[in-house]
Structure 1
Amino acid sequence: MTDLSARQDYDGDGIDEAALPPAPWSALTGWLADARQREADRGDVPEPEALSVATIDETGQPHVRTVLMRYLDTDGPGFYTNLESRKGLDLQRNPAVAASLTWQSMYRAIRFVGHAVPLPEDVVTGYFTSRPWGSRISAWTSLQSRPVKTREELEATYETYAARWPDHGRTDDVPVPPFWGGYRIDCHEVELWGGRRNRLHDRLVYVRAGEGGLDTEGTWTIERRQP
């Protein structure tokens, strides 16, 4: 059996309830800004927007994968994907979703629980046209989550689409695939996790108590949960 007994005590700053805002928005964006700044200063928070997303398939089997959080507004965090991928099909059948941002070097994490809502077409198009040309070609190339025989087959498909829509430096060089879109998470809970010594971590959870966005006062109650 592999030895997994190595220990590291978490020596983070923790979370002070008295300093928390009544709605999670400013705490969420503040922590994200801290993570981006830490990466800029120390280089030990690679991809601060890396978001682990969990879905449930038709048999009840959960699946988790890491994407990039490329949407964030007061209506929730979100991401873009091939709608015919595993996560896309899962969310079409069952919109229940959970996701987390984890910044290990800062002993911080944010957890989201809720249901997935498709992003509007204009938002999807706006993001797609902002992507690098190669990423737009890859969106057409990859039948995400489906088997492919070889790497060479995948690269040949890429070259086919690249020849069809060459790079002229314009946002409309490559059309948006009809199977490509995005989701945001309409959050029921937003948890702030702060690592502390002796595993007595801080878990402060914003729980939805009414209608409103992540910035709406009176919409959220705050619970401290045991670690």
Structure 2
Amino acid sequence: MSLVDHKHPFELFEKWFGDAKCREADVPEAMSLSSVSPDGKPSSRMVLLKGVDERGFVFYTNCTSRKGQQIQGNSHVALLFHWKSLKRQVRIEGQAVPVTEAEADAYFASRHKDSRIGAWASKQSQPMEGRFEFEKRIAKYAAKYTLGDVPRPEFWSGFRIKPTMIEFWQDRSFRLHERNVYSLQDDGQWEVSTLYP
């Protein structure tokens, strides 16, 4: 089946993501997230996809981190999945919007307790004097939350990337690759076009 036979990009993404979960050796949900600083400098890092549906692609983070601050200053971002074992990549451009409080609470509660404590302990993206400083903070919050639940910090939440463009790239022999782009139109429909490799 040709890529353009899929009328909706999320149908094709779910198929490719399913293939990646079966074939990709390590962390198929890893995606590169690119954001932009207030002075227009791009910045990329790997994050993990924690949810996807027709509303968009979800990840979670410390909102005071570099990426969190950049997104809050400029919500236009890009994502990139690269599945080497499948010789495929998916590029996504769109707008990051906060997930609901209920979504953030539910996901945070599903995390291992040590990860929840780590969210409290890490001043993500800020300088630290050494690893011992971080370990002291971990011990502090581990002691604080020895018994009972670990609540979600107010500075920790998620973003949903609402795509306006999704490109599917499939490797072909002799660099004659297949590239198909889904562009969101003003009426909410997706228009598909094929690009030269």
TM class by shorter-chain length?
over 0.9
The aligned runs of 1:100-179 (5 Å cut-off) are 100-166=80-146, 173-179=149-155
Counterpart in the other structure of 1:37 = 22
Superposed structure 1 runs of 4+ greater than 3 Å apart? none
Higher RCO (C-alpha under 8 Å, 6+ residues apart): 1
Counterpart in the other structure of 2:7 = 22
The one of 204, 222, 227 aligned to 2:180: 204
1:100 Cα offset (Å): 1.0
Alpha-carbon distance in structure 1 between the residues aligned to 2:102 and 2:93:
25
What SS class does the counterpart of residue 193 from structure 1 fall into?
strand
Alpha-carbon distance in structure 1 between the residues aligned to 2:124 and 2:140:
17
Contact 2:30 2:47 in 1 (8 A): yes
1:38 Cα offset (Å): 1.3
Contact 1:210 1:220 in 2 (8 A): no
The aligned runs of 1:83-94 (5 Å cut-off) are 83-94=63-74
Contact 2:34 2:79 in 1 (8 A): yes
Counterpart in the other structure of 1:10 = none
Contact 1:109 1:192 in 2 (8 A): yes
Alpha-carbon distance in structure 1 between the residues aligned to 2:144 and 2:3:
56
The one of 161, 172, 176 aligned to 1:185: 161
Alpha-carbon distance in structure 1 between the residues aligned to 2:10 and 2:53:
9
Contact 2:82 2:90 in 1 (8 A): yes
AA in 2 matched with 1:225: L
Higher Rg? 1
Structure 2 unaligned runs (5+)?
Answer: none
Alignment: residue pair count: 197
1:226 Cα offset (Å): 1.8
Counterpart in the other structure of 1:64 = 44
Structure 1 unaligned runs (5+)?
Answer: 1-14, 213-218
Mark the CA change 1:77 to 1:211 in structure 2 (over 3 Å): closer, same or farther: farther
Percent identity over the alignment is 40
Q: TM-score scaled by structure 2?
A: 0.96
AA in 2 matched with 1:31: W
